[in-house]
Amino acid sequence: MNERIQELLVEAHKQTKGGIYSGHPSEWTEKFAELIVRECNQAVLDVPCYYKDYRAQIEEAVINDCARAVLEHFGVEK
């Protein structure tokens, strides 16, 4: 399994005070899914802009629109 996913598993465990291991699998599952969605959102935002002219503004706007769409699609607030 990807190392980052392992880290997100641990983080979800911490944020839900044990979560799946203490009888609250739904809360833990939701937190884990939210962390994955936030990670995907950040991956989109981290895409570098390659243009050095007016196209950079367009590229940045598209990146921001895509990142926002990821959050909205999964119902995660910014």
Give tens-digit pLDDT for 17-47: 765 556 566 788 888 999 999 999 999 999 9
Q: What's the structural domain count of the chain? A: 1
For the stretch 54-74, pLDDT in tens is 999 999 999 999 999 999 999
**What's the maximum distance between 2 C-alpha atoms anywhere in the chain?**
54
What pLDDT score was predicted for residue 43? 95
Domain limits at 58? 3-74
Indicate yes or no: pTM above 0.85.
no
Give just the sign of the alpha carbon dihedral 36, 37, 42, 45. Answer: positive
Q: How confident is the model at residue 14 (pLDDT cuts 50, 70, 90)?
A: confident
